[in-house]
Amino acid sequence: MMGAVAVAARYGGAHTAGVIPRWLVDLEVADRDADELVVVDTMRQRKAEMDRRADAFLVLPGGLGTLEELFEVWTTRSLDMHHRPVVLLDPAGVFDPLWMVLAGLVGQGFVRAAALEAVTVTRDVDSAFDALNLLS
């Protein structure tokens, strides 16, 4: 999905940068058409570089890696370690069961209710961009 987003962004005139660990480049997973391709040694370096470059975080439905990255930027936002928007664009409700689990954790006292407010869940692109403060 990341590749499709990058292609669409370039088609719309956006600058794209890919950050990828060296071992994935060898598997030919790298977006070689990116305007900028940053090759790092580890996944942790990849996340650090993406975090350093980000003005905001837009998350699309994905697997374990997506969830891990979402929870990291969301947790650091909820702890006031940054104030950049964290937005989840989930048009099909893929993550609805996750929100039910999180609401249960709030009810049990394991998660602060304010922490849930540190991420914005949207169902459409326009709402996601509004939440990212990209449309002014």
In tens, the pLDDT along 14-55 reads 898 989 999 888 786 778 888 999 999 999 999 999 999 999
User: Which residue segment(s) compose the domain that 73 sits in?
Assistant: 55-131
Is 9's pLDDT higher than 90? Answer: no
pLDDT value at 8 more than 50 = yes
- Residue pair 37/17 in contact (Cβ under 8 Å)? The answer is yes
Inside any domain, residue 46: yes
The pTM assigned to this predicted structure is: 0.87
Kindly state whether residues 36 and 64 are assigned to the same domain: no
Indicate whether 17 and 69 sit together in one domain: no
Distance of CA 84 to CAs 30, 34, 71, 100, Å? 27, 24, 14, 25
Asked whether residue 100 falls in the same domain as residue 124, the answer is yes
Regarding whether 26 and 48 lie in a shared domain, the answer is: yes
68 and 17 housed in the same domain:
no
- Is the domain of 59 the same as that of 117? yes
Cβ 42 vs Cβ 21: under 8 Å: yes
C-alpha to C-alpha distance for 112 and 78, rounded to whole angstroms = 9
Domain count, the chain: 2
Q: What is the pLDDT of residue 135?
A: 46
Residue 5 has pLDDT above 90, yes or no: no
Question: What are 94's two structure tokens?
Answer: 């893929």
For the chain, the average pLDDT equals 91
Q: What is the pLDDT of residue 28?
A: 67
Distance, in Å, from the CA atom of 38 to the CA atom of 54, rounded to the nearest integer, reads: 14
CA dist., res. 87 & res. 52, Å (int): 17
Question: What pLDDT is attached to residue 136?
Answer: 42
- For 59-76, letters b (16+ CB in 10 Å) and e give bbeeeeebeebbeebbee
